[in-house]
Structure 1
């Protein structure tokens, strides 16, 4: 009795659904994942440092966060075509029967399911974050960080289980590659060339948002480094932050410490002013250097009688948001480049850039460069 054609499982005869191709693509994908995870860990520690690390986070090099976060977003975007190519190579195994041959095989398939699900979630949720679109009910940052750890664990488990097959197909002259048909060499090279071209294309058309020499190719990135008030992009406007004109009109800066005081904007401008050139770099991947001028945070702290080792708490006029209150460790607070900025590129700050005063500090995520500062506390 013949079986129904509707019950037959697909049969794959393509030459590139093989272990050698999967290994080559896996190597490239692994590099992208490791770079993305490592730079993401740096970003998380700078954004939400554990208490014991707050006072020791470095403020130099000034471009440190700009580099690591640019690499984080670029490697994440580059990993998308690599992951899709890798999944295309191995997807016929979804149709292998029996589904589970043993307990070990069942655990292996379950770990692969976790690995694939975590990788897809990380890459595509990260891309949505670059566009600041959050179609989910949970907070992005803690969930993204937690799933990154899950992804790393699943990847290490997968490598441990598959290491014999990976080693057998690692090099061109490896044992597992000697019996492959000769025609697969040119076909594989064509596939890898196409994947490399795709990675190059998505990188070239997005990396300009942080690597400004390539900004003229910035076609697919959600931000262009030159687009925005005063020549600098803005993520959160004054209107969106709920900062009203009345609050700005009656603004006073409160500096809390052993000798607290308050300052008007005119009194702030009468203090010694310093100019620095620092990049502002956001977690979404864009960054750009600009000229800032204002009062050094260390001068404000010294006037308040703050101790040298004091940490700083900065409060914004912003009505809501996860970063309306910001903590700054001793290293950043005492760095002479850290300013309460009053001007940007020679002009008074616009409302969307934090008028009347905002924080600008070296080697810090943009979300911690607090705008519309109303209070500085030495703790």
Structure 2
């Protein structure tokens, strides 16, 4: 008695190219926005040497916008990807599974695309909550897989271009043969997917778009919750920084004419107030009022060259981003401060007491806290 295996039969009318194309019209732009803004974020955090001095410091809210779009488009892509996979998953059971070398390569590229997309969205979502249940470093792996996903996505769109064109609109010739009774169901499905995208966006985007902060239900950060009504990612305790005594603090400025300042001397220097956002890679951001000493004034006192970069060194004992660098555009921008006060109050230890960096259009991880040293780089 022979046992014959046959593929399952799917009779649902919505597992078709028209439905897949309709969802893809939303999913592809979401992926494109997520990739481009992620690339911006990566370059701003890890600029290649030849580009470091070309990164602009204006508009001051630039990174807040791009990173907010990055996280929002990534979260919106989750229900879109799930709906897309639901529409096409019966093709996993095509028989025979491999009809030719070309077909095998096509299926392999789709497998890479699906696996990479799920990986990117899942790890990105967990990153917003700062939960890393994996043994690898998130940033370089997430960045590398993003390029893999984009490459396979471009290949997939190119291969499927004739089908996409045939099902792009209702008037396309390829859609005429679709069962008319499925049209209302398809509209209902697309409406449900759109509602899901709207719901997840509305309940998370308020962490960066503060006019919607009252609707934040599922975002891991609320823009008003934290010391001095501003969130923090790394506390003083997590960074190994205890309470720094004011009389013991010293700021060292290392340059052609090096010098050291006490906290009292920093407070006696001309103080400037700016309104700048803290914008973190996890997607949350909020503007605040900062008061402190302009970095450009400290550099001029040290006789730093006009186009010199600056290394900012923290007093923290552990954790990443203890050291950051600024190109001359950021270092010389009059909005860049060594802040001593936040919203009119002395800095909380978790916000970098006694001194922290605040600069326009800069990722939050590079807004160094507990600053102990500025180094002029030739």
TM-score (normalised: structure 2): 0.98
Offset, 1:160: 1.2
| Unpaired runs of at least 5, structure 2 | none
Moved more, 364-373 or 162-171: 162-171
Cα offset, 1:9, TM superposition: 2.6
The Cα RMSD (Å) is 1.2
Aligned residues: 377
Shift of 1:88: 0.2
Q: Residue 214 of structure 1 aligns with which residue? A: 212
Instruction: Indicate which of 251, 265, 277 corresponds to 2:275.
Output: 277
Instruction: Tell me which of 18, 21, 31 is aligned to 1:20.
Output: 18
Q: The residue matched to 2:289 in structure 1 has which SS?
A: strand
What's 1:301 paired with?
299
Task: Provide the residue aligned with 2:252 in structure 1.
Answer: 254
Q: How many Å separate the matches in 2 of 1:126 and 1:350?
A: 30
What's 1:44 paired with?
Answer: 42
Structure 1 residue aligned with 2:176: 178
Which residue of structure 2 aligns with residue 129 of structure 1?
127
Cα shift readout 1:204-240 (whole Å, capped 9, x = no counterpart): 0000000000000000000000000001001000000
- Cα contact 2:33–2:70 (8 A) shared by 1: yes
Counterpart CA distance in 1 for 2:109 and 2:156 is: 7
1:2 Cα deviation (Å)? 7.8
Deviates more, 1:143-152 or 1:313-322: 313-322
* Aligned residue number for residue 85 of structure 1: 83
Mean alpha-carbon deviation: is it higher for 249-258 or for 329-338? 249-258
Counterpart position of 2:371? 373
Closer/same/farther in 2, CA of residues 356 and 15 from structure 1, 3 Å limit? same
Q: Distance in 1 between matches of 2:196 and 2:241?
A: 43
For the residues of structure 2 that align with 1:142 and 1:338, how far apart are their CA atoms?
Answer: 28
SS of corresponding position for 2:160: helix
Q: CA deviation at 1:290?
A: 0.2
CA deviations over 1:33-87 (Å, ceiling 9, x no partner): 0010011111111111111111111111111111110000000000000000000
Aligned to 1:66: 64
1:198-209 alignment runs, 5 A limit: 198-209=196-207
- Deviation digits for residues 169-202 of structure 1 (CA, Å, limit 9, x no counterpart): 1111112101111112111100000000000000
Corresponding residue of 2:331: 333
1:246–1:330 CA distance, 2 compared to 1 (3 A): closer
SS of match in other structure, 2:237: helix
Q: Secondary structure at the residue paired with 1:294?
A: strand
SS of the residue corresponding to residue 288 of structure 2 reads strand
**Alpha-carbon distance in 2 for matches of 1:216, 1:233:** 16
Q: Structure 1 residue aligned with 2:146, among 148, 152, 161?
A: 148
- List aligned pairs for 1:318-329, cutoff 5 A: 318-329=316-327
137 and 248 in structure 1: CA distance in 2 versus 1, 3 angstrom threshold: farther
SS class of match (1:198): helix
Judge which range, 125-134 or 178-187, deviates more. 178-187
Partner of 1:109: 107
The alpha carbon displacement at 1:134 in A equals 0.4
Q: Does the residue aligned with 2:126 lie in a helix, a strand or coil?
A: helix
SS in 2 for 1:362: coil
Once the two structures are superposed, residues 130-155 of structure 1 have per-residue CA deviations (whole angstroms, 9 ceiling, x without a partner) of 00000111111111111100000010
Q: Distance between the aligned counterparts of 2:346 and 2:216, measured in 1?
A: 28
1:225-282 superposed Cα distances (whole Å, 9 cap, x missing partner): 0000001001000000011236776221000000000011000000000000011100
Contact between 2:247 and 2:263, CA under 8 Å: does it hold in 1? no
Distance 1:89 1:225 in 2: 37
Alignment partner of 1:342 out of 340, 343, 367: 340
Q: What is the TM-score normalised by the length of structure 1?
A: 0.98
SS in 2 for 1:52: coil
CA contact (8 A) 2:244 2:354 kept: no
Aligned partners of 1:99, 1:181: CA distance in 2, in Å?
27
